[in-house]
Amino acid sequence: MRLLVTGGAGFIGSHIVDAEIDRGNEVAVVDNFSSGKRKNIQREAEIFEADIRDREKIFKIFENWKPTHVSHHAAQASVSVSVQHPQTDAVINIIGTLNILDACANFGVEHLVFASTGGAIYGEVPETSKASEDWTPKPQSPYAAAKATAEMYLEIYNKSYGLSYTTLRYANVYGPKQDPYGEAGVVAIFCERLIKDLPVILYARQKKGDNGCIRDYVFVKDVELVHSMAIRKKFTGTYNVSTGKGTSTLQVLQLISEALDKKPNIDFQGPRPGDLEVSILDNAKISKYFNNWTSFKDGIKETAEWFLFSHK
Ligand code: NAD
- Helices 97-106 and 142-161: crossing angle, nearest 10°? 10
Predicted local distance difference test score (pLDDT) of residue 45: 97
pLDDT value, residue 312: 67
Q: Ligand 1 centre from 149 Cα, in Å?
A: 17
Beta strand segments in 131-215, E:
165-170, 172-174, 200-204, 214-215
Q: What is the CATH number of domain 2-172+217-241?
A: 3.40.50.720
CB of 49 within 6 A of ligand 1: the answer is no
Minimal-distance CA residue to ligand 1 atom 39: 173
Per-residue burial over 182-211, b = 16 or more CB atoms within 10 Å of its CB, e = otherwise:
bebbbbbbbbbbbbeeeebbbbbbeeeebb
- Distance between CA atoms of 208 and 231, rounded to whole angstroms? 43
CA distance 167 to 100: 14
H/E stretch holding 145 reads helix 142-161
Cα separation of 243 and 238, whole Å?
16
- Best mutation site among 29, 35, 113, 174 for ligand 1 pocket (most ligand atoms within 8 Å of CB): 35
Q: How far is the CA of 43 from the centre of ligand 1 (A)?
A: 19
How remote is the CA of residue 1 from the centroid of ligand 1, in Å?
22
Any atom of ligand 1 within 6 Å of the Cβ of 174:
no
pLDDT at residue number 173: 97
pLDDT on residue 280: 97
- Please tell me the predicted confidence (pLDDT) of residue 181: 85
Ligand 1, residue 174: give the atom nearest the CA.
40
The per-residue DSSP string of 273-309 comes to TT--SEE-B--TTGGGT---PPPHHHHHHHHHHHHHH
Contact 119 CB / ligand 1 (< 6 Å): yes
- What is the widest separation between alpha-carbon atoms in the chain? 56
Give the SS3 label for residue 214. Answer: strand
Whether 203 is catalytic:
no
Same fold across 2-172+217-241 and 176-216+245-310: no
What is the CATH number assigned to the segment(s) 176-216+245-310? 3.90.25.10
Give per-10-residue mean pLDDT for the chain (312 aa): 98 98 98 97 96 98 98 95 96 98 98 97 94 96 97 98 98 96 88 96 97 97 98 98 97 98 96 90 98 97 95 72
pLDDT of residue 55: 98
Q: State how far the Cα of 301 lies from the Cα of 304, in Å rounded to an integer.
A: 5
Contacts (Cβ under 8 Å, ≥6 apart) of 256: 187, 190, 191, 194, 300, 304
Distances (CA, A) of 5 to 21, 93, 109, 262: 12, 15, 13, 37
SS3 71: strand
Question: What residue spans define the domains of the chain?
Answer: 2-172+217-241, 176-216+245-310
- Does 9 sit in the ligand 1 pocket, CB within 6 Å? yes
Nearest CA to ligand 1 atom 4: 10
